[in-house]
Structure 1
Amino acid sequence: MSMRCLLVDDSIRFLEAARSLLERDGIPVVGVALTGPEALALAAELVPDLVLVDVDLGGENGFDLVVELAVRVPSVIILISTHSPDDFEELVAASPARGFVPKSALSARAIRDVLGDGGPVTTT
């Protein structure tokens, strides 16, 4: 699977660090968004293969954004957060997201693990 990625997070510092990390790992980041509306517009324009969405987008809910993205673009969506995967296990399972990766474990390998073998959708 191609891995052209859109990153969605309300922290510019995280977006810069994650972009650098993922691109160094071989995943091209084609766009970054700070808000839900910006993410929806960029996703429609860029049609990325993968969208990483922070669970907490400041005043916005990442889970709500995932639902909107899932009906608008044919991208694989993975939720990310600084919180423990246990905090969101049921919400992730009920969402259209493929899975969850903690920000502290974010890497191309963690993403591929979520996309891979049909095993657990949470990478720790």
Structure 2
Amino acid sequence: MNCLIVDDSLRFLDAARNLLEREGMTVLDMVSTSADALQRAEELRPDVTLVDIELGDESGFELVCRLREEDRHQGSVILISTHAEEDYAELIAASPACGFLPKTCLSAAAIRRLLRNCGDTCEK
């Protein structure tokens, strides 16, 4: 499984890449802005894209909608954050993302489990 990671924290990007690659995933790229994410998702066609809810001055929720609406992304999208899921529960449920993973629980196994549970709801 290959992925694209979108987060404005360079430290988190490096840590996430190291963790996921040790666990057998291929990290195709890591980007920090919505514009870069849209471009790279279209070029790379990752199986899954991890999108931070807060991208500095940009919204991860808006990015997820743009990825799905503009048909730039055929894979699954998972929202991630340091915040608790309860803080954004309504926005997560209303988004076209497959679901949410706290950054503290990020792992290849957690991603695969979420994608399995997501089923057809991940499809556009």
TM-score (norm. length: structure 2): 0.91
Superposed CA RMSD in Å reads: 1.2
Higher mean C-alpha deviation, range 68-77 or range 19-28: 68-77
State the shift of 1:73 in Å: 1.4
1:69 aligns with 2:104: no
Percent identity between the aligned chains? 56
Flag as ranges the 4+ runs of structure 1 deviating above 4 A.
Answer: none
Q: 2:108 aligned with 1:108, yes or no?
A: yes
How far does the alpha carbon of each residue in 1:22-76 deviate from its partner, in whole angstroms, 9 at most, with x for none?
Answer: 0011110001111000000100110111000000000000000000111221110
**What is the CA–CA distance in structure 2 between the aligned matches of 1:117 and 1:40, rounded to whole Å?**
25
TM-score (norm 1): 0.91
2:85, 2:102 within 8 Å by CA — same for their partners in 1?
yes
- Matched to 1:38, the amino acid is D
Query: Hey, what's the Cα distance between the residues in 2 that align with 1:118 and 1:49?
Result: 14
Q: Which amino acid aligns with 1:44?
A: E
1:38 matches 2:36: yes
**Structure 1: any 5+ residue segments left out of the alignment?**
120-124
Output the CA distance in 2 between the equivalents of 1:17 and 1:90.
28
Q: Which amino acid in structure 2 is aligned with residue 76 of structure 1?
A: S
Deviation digits for residues 94-123 of structure 1 (CA, Å, limit 9, x no counterpart): 10000000000000111112111359xxxx
Residue correspondences, number:
117
Greater helix fraction, Structure 1 or Structure 2: 2
Report what 1:122 is aligned to: none
Residue 17 (structure 2) aligns with: 19
Give the residue type in structure 2 aligned to 1:47: R
Indicate yes or no: 2:23 matched with 1:28: no
Cα distance in 2 between the residues matched to 1:7 and 1:118: 19
